[in-house]
Structure 1
Amino acid sequence: MIAKIMNGFDRVVAACQRYDFIALLGIRLYLLPVIYVGAHSKVVGFSAAVAWFGAPASEGGLGLPFPVAFAFLAAATEVLGLLCIALGLFTRVMAIPMMVLMSAASAMVHLPRGWLAIADKSMESSQRLAGFLSWLAENFPGRYNYITELGDPVILNNGIEFAATYFIMLLVLFFYGGGRYISADYWLRRHLAK
Structure 2
Amino acid sequence: MYLLVQLQRLLDKTRAFDFLGPLALRLYLVPIFWMAGTKKLADMDSIIAWFGNTEWGLGLPFPEVMAWAAALTETAGAIMLLVGFAVRWISIPLMVTMVVAIVTVHLPNGWLAIAEGSGPFATERTMAAIERLDRAKEILQQYGNYDWLTEYGNFVVLNNGIEFAVTYFIMLLVLFFIGGGRYFSMDYWIRKAFMR
Question: Is 1:179 aligned with 2:181?
Answer: yes
Residue 5 of structure 1: CA displacement?
Answer: 2.7
Residue 6 of structure 1: CA displacement?
Answer: 2.1
Deviation per residue, 1:38-88 (Å, 9 max, x gap): 1011110111110110111x32x0001211111011111112211111110
Question: How many residues were matched structurally?
Answer: 188
* CA distance, structure 2, for counterparts of residue 79 and residue 138 of structure 1: 44
* CA distance, structure 2, for counterparts of residue 153 and residue 20 of structure 1: 38
Amino acid aligned to 2:168: Y
Deviation per residue, 1:91-132 (Å, 9 max, x gap): 001101111111111111111110001000352122212111
What does residue range 101-140 of structure 1 map to in structure 2 within 5 Å? Answer: 101-121=97-117, 123-140=127-144
TM-score by length of 2: 0.92
Q: Paired residue for 2:158?
A: 156
Amino acid aligned to 1:164: V
Residue 162 of structure 1: CA displacement?
Answer: 0.5
What does residue range 28-39 of structure 1 map to in structure 2 within 5 Å? Answer: 28-39=26-37
Percent identical across equivalent pairs? Answer: 45
Q: Paired residue for 2:46?
A: 48
Any idea what SS the aligned residue of 1:150 has? Answer: coil
Residue 150 of structure 1: CA displacement?
Answer: 1.8
Q: Paired residue for 2:74?
A: 78
Runs of 4+ aligned structure 1 residues displaced above 6 Å come to none
Stretches of structure 1 that go unaligned for 5 or more consecutive residues are none
State which drifts further: 148-157 or 159-168: 148-157
Q: Paired residue for 1:11?
A: 9
Residue 184 of structure 1: CA displacement?
Answer: 0.1
Q: Paired residue for 2:89?
A: 93
Stretches of structure 2 that go unaligned for 5 or more consecutive residues are 119-126
* CA distance, structure 1, for counterparts of residue 30 and residue 77 of structure 2: 9
Amino acid aligned to 1:55: N
Amino acid aligned to 2:115: A
